Amino acid sequence: MSSRGRPRNFSREEALASAMRLFWDKGYDNTSLTDLTQAMGLKPPSLYAAFGSKAQLFIEAVDLYGRTDGAGIWDELETAPTAKAAVHDLLRRTAENFTRGGEPRGCMVVLSAPQMAGGDPEVCDALKVHRLEKQVALERRFERGVADGDLPEGTPCAAIAAYVASLQHGMSIEARDGATRETLLAIADCAAAGWDAMVAASIKPN
């Protein structure tokens, strides 16, 4: 049975997509319940019946982002022939994804709720988990690179994973500030150009 106030043609996925774009564009804190109900075409009781709370709606919206607009960036991480190629591909895909026309620019996971202090703990913790999952994926890829002989023994995989993740987060902020695709692609190319020297410099002598 449909909840009171829910439109007869209610599509949960379409309503969630509307919420995703609103959160992505305005951020979690700046998106009001009125903003959400207007964008989703729902009355407050129906919104809560369908999604539980604003925080739970946001978390579902972030998951949707990962399956849709945020998808594709990480596709070649495991299949690229070397760690360097994997990072270069990741960052170039990032540049292209973050500058697609007609969408909020940058990464929803990075930009939609950046402040931990005073923020909703449920939201902040969920975003932190998403970010750390990607960083761990990078670390594991680099560990495989060491095992395959692609990266030298002693490569600090965790530190380099944090570096690449931080670089990607910075590209998100650049995109939100209006950086062009060419600028972001240049950042990706600079990271690739300096990769070998960066890896060598990061290895501490015994």
**What is the per-residue pLDDT across 190-204, written as a single tens digit (0 to 9) for each?**
999 999 999 999 998
pLDDT at 47: 93
Contacts 24+ apart (CB under 8 A), 114-117: 114/27, 115/29
Task: Please give the residue that has the higher pLDDT: either 7 or 125.
Answer: 125
CA separation, residue 97 to residues 72, 152, 183 (Å): 8, 31, 13
Amino acid at residue number 203: I
In sequence order, the 6+-apart residues with CB closer than 8 A to the CB of 104 are 21, 24, 25, 111, 176
Pick the CATH number of 12-67 from 1.20.1050.10, 1.10.10.60, 3.30.1240.10, 1.10.10.10: 1.10.10.60
Q: What is the pTM of this model?
A: 0.88
Task: Look at residue 3 and tell me whether its pLDDT is greater than 50.
Answer: no
Q: Nearest CA to 96 among 27, 188, 166, 160?
A: 188
pLDDT at 121: 87
User: Which overall architecture, per CATH, does domain 83-202 show?
Assistant: Orthogonal Bundle (1.10)
Domain with CATH 1.10.10.60 in the chain: 12-67
What's the Cα-to-Cα distance from 130 to each of 8, 65, 124, rounded to whole Å?
Answer: 34, 11, 10
- Quote the CA–CA distance of 186 and 201 in Å, as a whole number: 22
**47 close to 22: Cβ distance less than 8 angstroms:** no
Which pLDDT belongs to residue 112? 87
Cα separation, 90 vs 179, whole angstroms: 18
Domain with CATH 1.10.357.10 in the chain: 83-202
- Range name among 64-73, 97-106, 137-146, 156-165 with the lowest pLDDT average: 97-106
Could you tell me which residues come within 8 angstroms of residue 28 by beta carbon, excluding any fewer than 6 positions away? 58, 112, 113, 119, 120, 123
User: For residue 2, what pLDDT is reported?
Assistant: 45
Q: Name the percent of the chain lying above pLDDT 70.
A: 92
Tokens linked to 165:
């993740």
Tell me what the mean pLDDT of segment 23-30 comes to.
92
% of the chain surpassing 90 pLDDT: 81
DSSP-assigned states of every residue in 48-105? HHHHSSHHHHHHHHHHHHHHTTTTTTTTTTTTSSSHHHHHHHHHHHHHHHHT-TTS--
Average pLDDT over residues 61-86: 94
